[in-house]
Chain A
Amino acid sequence: MIKFQNVTKIYPPSTTVLQEISFEVKDGEFISIVGKSGAGKTTLIRMILGLETPTSGEVFFRGQNISSLEGDYLQDVRKKIGGIHQDYRLLLNKTVFENVAYILEVEGLDDIEINSQVPKVLEAVGLSDKLNNFPEQLSGGEQQRLAVARAIINHPDVIIADEPTGNLDPYNSYEVISLLEKINKVGKTVILATHDKEIVNKLGKRVITLEEGRIIRDESKGRFLI
């Protein structure tokens, strides 16, 4: 479903972030990408969304070369991917409810549908009593959970989660990860970038370890070893 083929990313003038990265993510897989801070996890994930272009090599989503997509074709791919970003990327001018609703509005759902679905998802991430707050009126952890709610609201085929537990206490981390596991159980693909050792080890799923821009390990029942 997602395929990296000899991907190298060099930020001008000469910061090499990724080198000759190749791997494939199958439909329905749960895959963790681990590595030290600065290893290139976020860069790699942003490439799947077409937010960074490889300096060389290709990234494919369902056989389409992402960097060759433009305009609405690229937007269609982005719609099919639920992204949880390290910096949350919330709409600061919209309330909690509106942030989640926006995704469904982009898809053109009607208000009845939106009004029934959004509260359910916000309930699932424990934000039911903050519907009318603006992101700036939320704690870091709450913002992160809002980002999670937004990523899963439209049941995308793939969830890409960049440090979705970075700001959460152990209880909420556990909640978010089990939410991702649940989504994976119904057949969705999950890509998780994290440096939380405990989470990765507990998952017992495929792990790709990045170091200095290269894949140094790719194991199907991997552990966090650095």
Chain B
Amino acid sequence: MINLKRAFSFALTDFYRNKGISVSAIFVLTLTSLLVTGLFLTHGVSSYLIDTIQNKIDITAYFKESTSEQDILSVKDEILANAPNTKSIDYVSKEDALSDFLQRHKESEVFSKALIEVGGNPFLPSLNIVTGGNTTQYEKIAEILEGQQFEDIIEKVDFSEKKATIDTIFSITRSVNIVGLLLGLVFVFIAISIVFNTIKLIINTAKEEINTMKIVGASNWFIKAPFVIEGGIFGLIASLVCLLLTVIAVLALTRFISVILPGFSLVSYFFSNLFLILLIQIAVGVGVGVVSSIIVVNRHLKV
């Protein structure tokens, strides 16, 4: 207990006396932490992008007004039988379509008035199909819906997104992800080696000190603890600095990102993942700080 208290006080004194070294260690740890946080946020943005694209209704089939629900469901079964990986097929009846529409435009009188003027329910029953971005499935479904088999009951098929666009977006996100991952790995590797070398530098200057401590009889634990604690303090401060910088960056970038990606709010993504992000930052900062001190001190303890 008294030893632990001492280890802390040694660590704090050393931290204060070697300000230059402390600052540089915190700097590199902050950099690493920022990098990992950046990767996390980028991942969030890109998976949102992919999700939105994949969940877009890409085919809507409208049926003739008199078509029975049974017939429509048989079309659905036919599609599922031929394209089993289809993400979703939802049957929307005339009534559902109407109430959906009213729900969506309940604030606008113009629409409701227009509806009354038309009289009755102008909507057609439909199947909303999400293929999930698989091109062959997409083609198969299109084939079924446009073929002769259901010619009589289908009013029209709406390919809301052009297939080509979907394809390009997919190939872009895929390559962005691969490049991002590779870049991320490279950066993490560079960061770790910088951190390691900085801490090595710090402890190399303490090499004589560690030697002397051994000569006067201090146990390994007694020598090691202050360095490890110091590494932890570096990491903790680095995570706090990193958190602060991240918040600033998120606030600054949110607008920009919501322009490119309508519907995505970086701020709310950040705050809803705050706990996880905090955990990552502390784990990276403190983890790297502590582990590298342990590795380097151990090297010098062999006197």
User: Which residues of A approach B to under 8 Å, CB–CB?
Assistant: 49, 51, 71-72, 75-81, 83, 85, 89-93, 102-103, 105-106, 108, 110, 150
Contact = CB atoms under 8 A, between A and B. Distances in A.
B2 A78 contact: no
Interface string B196-211: 0000000000101101
Contacts of B18: 93
A78 B220 CA distance: 13
A20 B222 CA distance: 37
A91 B223 CA distance: 12
B3 A49 contact: no
B159 to A, nearest CB: 73
Contacts of B220: 71-72, 75
Given A72-B220, A79-B216, 13 more contacts: A75-B218, A78-B215, A80-B217, A83-B216, A89-B212, A91-B209, A93-B14, A93-B18, A93-B206, A93-B209, A106-B217, A106-B219, A106-B222
A102 B216 contact: yes
Nearest to B220: A71
B214 interface: yes
Contacts of A71: 220
B210 to A, nearest CB: 10
B213 interface: yes
Contacts of A106: 213, 216-219, 222
B215 A105 contact: no
B162 interface: no
Nearest to B17: A93
Contacts of A89: 211-212, 215-216
B212 A91 contact: yes
A51 B212 contact: no
A80 to B, nearest CB: 8
A150 to B, nearest CB: 7
Contacts of B213: 91, 102, 106
Contact of B217 (A78, A90, A92, A93): A78
B303 interface: yes
The 3 closest A-B pairs by CB, nearest first: A79-B217, A78-B217, A106-B218
B216 A103 contact: yes
Contacts of A79: 216-217
Given A93-B18, A105-B6, A108-B2, A150 B208 contact: no
Contacts of B206: 93
Nearest to A90: B212
A51 B215 contact: yes
A51 B219 contact: no
16 contacts: A71-B220, A72-B220, A75-B214, A75-B218, A75-B220, A80-B217, A83-B216, A92-B208, A93-B17, A93-B206, A102-B216, A105-B6, A106-B216, A108-B2, A108-B3, A150-B216
A106 B2 CA distance: 11
A10 B14 CA distance: 39
Contacts of A49: 215
Could you say which of B6, B18, B209, B212 has the most chain A C-beta atoms within 10 Å of its C-beta? B212
Interface in B197-250: 206, 208-209, 211-220, 222
Nearest to B211: A89
Nearest to A107: B217
A78 B213 CA distance: 10
Could you say which of B14, B208, B215 has the most chain A C-beta atoms within 10 Å of its C-beta? B215
Interface string B232-274: 0000000000000000000000000000000000000000000
A115 B23 CA distance: 32
Contacts of A150: 216
A76 B217 contact: yes
Interface string B1-20: 01100100000001001100
Could you say which of A81, A90, A102 has the most chain B C-beta atoms within 10 Å of its C-beta? A102
Contacts of B217: 75-81, 103, 106
Contacts of B211: 89
A109 to B, nearest CB: 9
Contacts of A76: 217
A150 B6 CA distance: 19
Contacts of B6: 105
A70 to B, nearest CB: 11
Given A93-B14, A106-B222, A78 B216 contact: yes
A80 B216 CA distance: 9
Contacts of B208: 92
A210 to B, nearest CB: 22
Contacts of B218: 75, 102, 106
B14 A51 contact: no
